[in-house]
Structure 1
Amino acid sequence: MAMTGREKEIVRHLSEDDLDRLLTETDSERLSKRFTFATRLSRGATLADAADDVGMSQSTGSRWTNLWNKGSLGLLTPSFGGGRPPKLNEKQRERLLDLLAEGEPWKKQEIQHLINQEFDVKFHPNYLPRLLDDLDLSYAIPRTERPDRPENADEILDERVADAFTEDDGDEPHNKQPEDDSDNEWTLDDDVRTDGGTTVGFFDVSHPQPWDNSQRLYTVTEPTITRPLVKIDTPAAGFYALNGESVLQFPPNQEKEQICACFEGIREQNPGQRILLILDNFSSYVCAHTRERAHELGIDLVFLPIGSPHLNPIEPIWKSLKWESSHLPLIVEGAAEYRVLLDEIFTKLTDQLSFASSWIENHLNEFIQKLR
């Protein structure tokens, strides 16, 4: 294979001599452009340069490359003679690709309307997907991005983690913010020790349920669920520790007093070390009451950038926990039984550092020695 300059490879179906021979034998301008394009790529030209040489855009060059790789001449040189002419000629297809690139993503109905408005052409709904496939468009569920997420979320987190590890003993309490009452002195609880290194962990609250409507079930008649289902009305609060004891708790709600009680449970299972807790910006986490209580417990809070749950390694743990708990070959009889099951699965999952391997490499590597 040869590289085209845009992370695409071209398959060498034919030799350069064969391509030159085809180029000299054809009388079709359309085929000549495609043969010239393939020849230029095979000789090391970039995709952009090869497309420019034949007066085509880079997007068309990319589409031609895909057609060539999939089927050599068979797909790159469709029959242009005989039969009905295509509803959109080459230049119109180029224009359509440009319009689609400017306004993506698109629904099929929106593309149909765009073609009608821009080119006064109507495609039958059954044929339109063939056109879109011929244009080599991607057809997938778009990945959702939060509009409030900063572009430099990773850099912001790096700075916050570094601040948490480099603060001097004489500094203000880590959790204290400028708007907090300066006359209110924050102190550690008498029985809290933080001189044995640092435990790093991730905190989050989720709402797993012992059922999954998307799961396929076996039935003899129409697949409907008529049996009563156990429903959990209270959340699950998880602490995923990298170098300590992970903890799963079930507070009645997410009010600040209950979150503080969860922090107390985390401290109870992880005595003798300072705890560095990474969590999101939920209101009951960031309020002064919670931040002060965390300080009293020797827990320093590192808040993720807004809209950045992807930077919390406990998120994929929740996903795995929900999947495993809904696919086990048993039916739980009540909330208590389900919570026991969740605790077992959570313990098994949080024993694995693989969920946080990239996070450790990206944000914690230079501070590893401070964890002991």
Structure 2
Amino acid sequence: MSSIYLGDGVGKACERVSISNQTGYTWLNQWNKYGYEGLIPHFNGGRPSKLTKEQLEQLKEKLKSKGDWMTSEVRALIKKEFDITYSNRQVSRILRSFKMHYAKPHPHDYRRPENAKEILEDSLKKAVNEIHEKCVIGFLDQAAPQTTDNKQRFWSFDKPKITKNTTKYRANTFGFYPINGKDVVEFMARSTARYVCEFLRIISEKNNGKHILLILDNARAHIAKRTESFAKSIGITMVFLPAYSPDLNSIEQIWKSIRRKISQTFIKSQWSFRETIRATFHHLAKKSSFAQGWLNKFQPILSNLL
């Protein structure tokens, strides 16, 4: 401003202090309107919100009452309740400031009991009362990965492509993911009680005959009298998950990771397909992170067994 008072035009004054003409004219307008105070910067975090603090709190409480929202629904709610229009981006910023999460919903079968966690807690407590020694604790499940699985997403300027052997391979896979023992993965012809018993025998041998607390779903082959009788005879206590509750079986995350690995791997043959599954399972089963959330819920019940 001193340069202008000395006779410089706006362009020349801007050149002296190395700022753009646009900034110079903005400063000049601020000076003319507000004087010196108009040139003092105010770092107030950007444009004020259209919603007041009180309105934001009201919005937050309304959002809590439902649970899950689409961005368009929140926009419509703000318009209806406060007669204010926001863009999707602005709504997203508000929701993040509320510490809300934007993610795909985790599917829960409608037949899953509302108290599934409590049911499993009761089953675990009953099993623990019958075991009077340290034991191996782990999860059992079967899966059938196949080469047609396509779980991996890629960033690309064009449509992503991957060179694959389009021959279809499928492997009926049994897995044991332990919290504190030796993991096991095997390929079985079928998923009948006979093959489940064979897999239980292998698990027991790999873990040196230690008592095993086994968490598994209530598939027909698992709850068969033949399976339960054989498990008991070799020191395996089975705890069945509530119906339609795969989220309570930590091994499910390993199967998802294996399918993702398959989708990005060139499979030459049935043998290489199985070896990919086997190697990936052993690698992932060494990680305790897949069971960490489960342990946070149920470890207090199992602490005497670990």
CA displacement, residues 331-358 of structure 1 (integer Å, 9 cap, x when unaligned): 3332222212211111110000000001
Summarize the Cα distance change of 1:327–1:317 in structure 2 as closer, same or farther, 3 Å threshold: same
Are 1:235 and 2:172 counterparts? Answer: yes
Summarize the Cα distance change of 1:237–1:227 in structure 2 as closer, same or farther, 3 Å threshold: closer
Partner of 1:364: 299
Instruction: Tell me how far apart the structure 1 counterparts of residues 219 and 261 of structure 2 sit (CA, whole Å).
Output: 27
Partner of 1:339: 274
Partner of 1:299: 236
Are 1:46 and 2:40 counterparts? Answer: no
CA displacement, residues 139-171 of structure 1 (integer Å, 9 cap, x when unaligned): 9866432121000101111111111111277xx
Partner of 2:285: 350
Partner of 2:149: 212
Are 1:161 and 2:124 counterparts? Answer: yes
Are 1:244 and 2:262 counterparts? Answer: no
Partner of 1:275: 212
Instruction: Tell me how far apart the structure 2 counterparts of residues 298 and 71 of structure 1 sit (CA, whole Å).
Output: 59
Tell me: higher relative CO, structure 1 or 2? Use CA pairs within 8 A at least 6 residues apart.
Answer: 2
Instruction: Tell me how far apart the structure 1 counterparts of residues 227 and 254 of structure 2 sit (CA, whole Å).
Output: 25
Instruction: Tell me how far apart the structure 2 counterparts of residues 261 and 39 of structure 1 sit (CA, whole Å).
Output: 64
Identity percentage over the alignment? 30
Question: 1:368, CA displacement in angstroms?
Answer: 2.1
SS class of match (1:369): coil
TM-score by length of 2: 0.66
2:147/2:263 contact within 8 Å kept = yes
CA displacement, residues 259-295 of structure 1 (integer Å, 9 cap, x when unaligned): 1000001001012421000000100101111000000
Structure 2: give runs of 5+ residues left out of the alignment: 1-44, 63-75, 92-101
Summarize the Cα distance change of 1:301–1:224 in structure 2 as closer, same or farther, 3 Å threshold: closer
The one-letter amino acid of 1:294's match is A
Instruction: Tell me how far apart the structure 1 counterparts of residues 222 and 90 of structure 2 sit (CA, whole Å).
Output: 57
Q: CA RMSD in A?
A: 3.9
SS class of match (2:145): coil
User: For residues 52-63 of structure 1, what are the structure 2 equivalents within 5 Å?
Assistant: 59-60=77-78
SS class of match (1:150): coil
Structure 1: give runs of 5+ residues left out of the alignment: 1-10, 16-34, 51-57, 73-138, 170-194
Question: 1:61, CA displacement in angstroms?
Answer: 6.6
Instruction: Tell me how far apart the structure 2 counterparts of residues 71 and 267 of structure 1 sit (CA, whole Å).
Output: 57
Question: 1:215, CA displacement in angstroms?
Answer: 6.0
Question: 1:314, CA displacement in angstroms?
Answer: 0.3
1:201/1:275 contact within 8 Å kept = yes
Summarize the Cα distance change of 1:206–1:48 in structure 2 as closer, same or farther, 3 Å threshold: closer
Question: 1:367, CA displacement in angstroms?
Answer: 2.3
Instruction: Tell me how far apart the structure 1 counterparts of residues 209 and 162 of structure 2 sit (CA, whole Å).
Output: 53
1:230/1:334 contact within 8 Å kept = no
The one-letter amino acid of 2:282's match is T
Instruction: Tell me how far apart the structure 1 counterparts of residues 61 and 264 of structure 2 sit (CA, whole Å).
Output: 52
SS class of match (2:303): helix
SS class of match (1:46): helix
Instruction: Tell me how far apart the structure 1 counterparts of residues 80 and 135 of structure 2 sit (CA, whole Å).
Output: 51
1:201/1:239 contact within 8 Å kept = yes
Summarize the Cα distance change of 1:162–1:71 in structure 2 as closer, same or farther, 3 Å threshold: closer
1:230/1:332 contact within 8 Å kept = no
CA displacement, residues 200-250 of structure 1 (integer Å, 9 cap, x when unaligned): 0000000112343566899xxxx7989551412x41000001100000010
Instruction: Tell me how far apart the structure 1 counterparts of residues 290 and 61 of structure 2 sit (CA, whole Å).
Output: 43
User: For residues 139-178 of structure 1, what are the structure 2 equivalents within 5 Å?
Assistant: 143-167=106-130
Summarize the Cα distance change of 1:66–1:142 in structure 2 as closer, same or farther, 3 Å threshold: farther
Which of residues 256, 268, 277 is equivalent to 1:319? 256
1:149/1:305 contact within 8 Å kept = yes
SS class of match (2:136): strand
1:199/1:275 contact within 8 Å kept = yes
Are 1:67 and 2:5 counterparts? Answer: no
User: For residues 10-21 of structure 1, what are the structure 2 equivalents within 5 Å?
Assistant: 13-14=47-48
1:47/1:62 contact within 8 Å kept = no
SS class of match (2:189): coil
Partner of 2:3: none
Aligned length: 237
